Amino acid sequence: MRGDSEAGMTDDVLPIQPAYWPIRGEPRIPGSKSITNRALALAAFACGESHLRGALFSDDTLLMVKALRDLGIQVETSPSDHSITVHGCAGVLPAQHARIYVGNAGTVARFVTALASVGRGTFTLDGSERMRERPMGPLLRALGALGVQAESVAGSDCPPILICTTGLPGGAVTVEADVSSQFLSGLLMAAPYARSTLEISVPGPLSSEPYVAMTIRMMQDWGLRVFEEREGTARRYRVPAPQLIEGRQYTIEPDATAASYFMAAAVIMGGSVRIRGLGRSSLQGDVAFADVLRTMGAGVDFAEDILTVTGTDALRGVSVDMNAISDTVMTLAAIAPFAESPTRIRNVAHIRYKECDRIEATATELRRLGLRVLTHPDGLTVYPGTPRGAPVETYNDHRIAMSLALVGLRTPGVLLRNPSCVSKTFPDFFAELQRLSDPPVEM
């Protein structure tokens, strides 16, 4: 798995080297993408300087930094010590015109569209070919109902997006959040800088609910007032406005989704890993992936800020609703062939609209490895089996790539196409997986 010619890696294909011993140790997990991008947004609108420690430096977070700079925010990065300094605009965006490129970063696209509506001027937002297929309609309709001109240039509800705004008026609005919770999170983070209080209603299902909880908790940690009411499945959020906050020092947790790959590696190979910086009080809902592994038979121990996962000799298949932790669907699918019974993953239809159709992509590549997989409108079923080596596609999707690499730990001959796509969230993933896969050093 080494990223050099000696290990057989080219620009296009990476042979995954099987591990012939249990994986043990403490993986070095980068900062959370979700927390980094939310912290950048909060710091951008604060008064004065904010210093973010433990920040993730990856494609998605650097796109967020670039977008904020395009909006006139001064941002200084220091990759060597994983820190970012943001000079906040005190709720008033400096730029009146900007052309913003978001690549295939859905978080950046949705957050920045909402945040730009606070400004005064004309802003355009565009992305990669795949981003031009990812829906923005619910957010655009919500902004339009509030008096902001925000529209899909092609009329497809997808980027390119044109935003013409004289500021966010406030008022009451309804937003659909069954496809992406990012529509709601973006509106929540923009709301304090509206001209008057904003009330947001979500009448139906809310996908990936822990990410909204993360947004609210971070806003409150930074001193912003947010109020939530629930009635059945309906939710209502009230954000008083205008509000201003002071810049601050803020430490970013390790990325729980990135940690899931090493938890899975320990389960697949019968080892044990310790994840420092994650515990039950984590902001990130994806720490609950460890509970899924416990249900499958793995050993799981939560200390205050250390999560330990230990593999098992008898891995059980599970039937699990993964809506709240849908970024770990592919991780579980990679483990499932090694269980003693089928694994059914439910209620994740929305991941068809991610970097790729993750349900079909995962099923297609596991079948390419000789495994039996059934797809359903809301998920998939993976049956026990013995994978065979084969070249597999990654669909330029970092989570597909990292998950399929796990199968290669037990299966010789897995060849990963376009491995560099992991730079979206975890540039050093293969080096770190190799480090933990190396044989133990004899003393």
CA distances from 36 to 43, 62, 115, 411 (A): 10, 10, 16, 35
254: DSSP letter = B
CA distance 350 to 180: 7
* Residues composing the chain: 443
Q: What is the dihedral of CA 394, 398, 404, 409, to 10 degrees?
A: 130
C-beta of residue 26 within 8 angstroms of C-beta of residue 274: yes
Q: Which residues are catalytic?
A: 327
| Continuous segment of H or E residues that includes residue 112 | helix 106-116
Of 30, 113, 27, 12, the closest CA to residue 438 belongs to 27
Positions of E strands within 205-277:
227-231, 234-239, 249-251, 272-276
How does 1-39 read in b/e, with b if 16+ C-beta sit within 10 Å?
Answer: bebeeeeebeeeebbbbbbeeebbbebebbbbbbbbbbb
How big is the CA angle at 117 (ends 113 and 122), to the nearest 5 degrees?
Answer: 90
Amino acid at 304: E
